[in-house]
Amino acid sequence: MSERNSGGSSIGDAIGMAVLIFAIVMFFIAVAIVTFLASPGMLIVGAAKLAFGLAHSTRQVWVLSIAASLTILIVLVIVRRDVKEGVALHLLLCAATMILWSVLTYGFESKATEALAAVFFPGFTMNEAPAPAAAQASQASQERPAAADQGRAVADPSVSEAEPSVAAVESRTSEEPAQVAARHADAVVPMEDEPLPTPTPAPIASFRVALRLPLERAYVMVRLNDREVFRCDFRSKGQAGTPGLVTPPIEAAAGPALVKVWVISPNKMAADEYVVVPVELGAGESRTLKLMFDLTRGLKRRLVVEPMRGPAA
C-alpha cells in the first residue's frame, strides 16, 4: 500500500514539474510574441520617452507601445484596403524593427542605446562587468603551488649540509627572549605632548560711511564684500544745514575690501543709486568713507565718492 502511495506521489510530482516547466516556456513564448508585435511601438515610445523626458512606469510604457503598434496595424490595413496585406506589412515592419533593436542594442554599445533598452527592461546593461579580480585570483592560486615547489627545490640542497647542533639551537632560543624584551623597551618610549601653537589673531580694521544726503527720506544699505553690515530708514527732519548720515564703526579684516552702498527713495524717483568703493584697510586703521548725493547729476549717477583726505580717528 505504501509503495502504491509513494509511486502515486512521484507521478504527481513529475506531472506538476512538467506543468510548471510548460507554463514557464509558454510565458516566455508569449513575452517573445508580444515583444515582436509591439517592437515598432516600443521604438517610437522609447525614443519619445528619452527625447522628452516623459515620466511613465514600465507597465505604462509597454501598454503605450502595444497601443502604438496596434495603431500602426490599423493604419496599414486602412491604407492598403486589404487585411491580409496590412497584416503582412505589419509583420514585416515588426521583423525589421526587431533587427533594428538587435543592431542598436548589441551592435552599437553606447549610453543612448543602453538607456533606450532600459526603458522597457529596467536594469539592462550591454557591457558585462569584467572580472579581472577572479582571473588574478585563479592565476595567483595556480602560481602558489609552483612557488612552493620551487621553494622546496631550493631548500632540498641544504638538507645535505650539516645541521646545527641541539646545544646551539637551545642557546639561540634562550637569547631571543632577552633581545625581544630589549626591543620592546626601546619601542615603548613615553611621548611628550607637544604644545599646541597659539593662534595669531587676524589683523582688524574699521571704517565708517559718512553720507551727505539732501533728501527728506531714503533707504540706506551698506554691504562689505556681499555681507550686509548696515541698513536704516533715513529721515532728514530736524537736521540743520545739509542732512547727512554717519554709520557706526564697522569692523573688517585688514586688507582689500569692497564697500557697496545703496541709496533708494521710497518711490525711486528721487534716488535709485548704487556705488562700489574699493578700499585697502591697514591693520588697526580706522577710516571714514565720505560719499555725497549730487542732485545735479542724472538718476543712477547721483551717488559719488568724495576724495579721501587720509585716515580719521
List the domain boundaries for the chain. 8-120, 204-305
pLDDT of 312: 46
Residue (of 90, 87, 102) closest to 40 by Cα position: 90
Higher pLDDT, 1 or 84: 84
3-class SS of residue 301: coil
pLDDT of 191: 64
pTM of the predicted structure, to 2 decimals: 0.36
- Can you read off the three cell numbers belonging to residue 167? 646545544
Query: Is there a contact between 53 and 115 (Cβ–Cβ < 8 Å)?
Result: no
Residues in the chain: 313
Tens of pLDDT, residues 269-294: 888 899 999 999 999 999 899 999 88
Residue (of 274, 275, 259, 263) closest to 223 by Cα position: 259
Among 6-10, 91-95, 192-196, 309-313, the minimum mean pLDDT is found in 309-313
Indicate the CATH number of 204-305 among 1.10.1740, 2.60.40, 2.30.30, 3.90.25: 2.60.40
* pLDDT of 302 over the 80 cut: yes
pLDDT of 6: 57
pLDDT of 141: 56
* pLDDT of 248 over the 90 cut: yes
Phi first, then psi: give them for residue 114, nearest 5 degrees: -65, -40
Higher pLDDT, 165 or 114: 114
Cα 254 to Cα 97, 177, 236: the distances in Å are 71, 64, 33
pLDDT of 290: 92
**What DSSP state is assigned to residue 43?**
H
Among 59-63, 107-111, 192-196, 275-279, the minimum mean pLDDT is found in 107-111
What's the rounded mean pLDDT across residues 225-238?
A: 89
Tens of pLDDT, residues 121-166: 554 454 544 445 444 555 555 555 544 445 444 444 444 444 445 4
Phi and psi based region of residue 182 (left: phi greater than 0; alpha: psi -120 to 50; beta: remaining) = alpha
pLDDT of 219: 92
Band of the pLDDT at 7, cuts 50, 70, 90?
Answer: low
* pLDDT of 232 over the 60 cut: yes
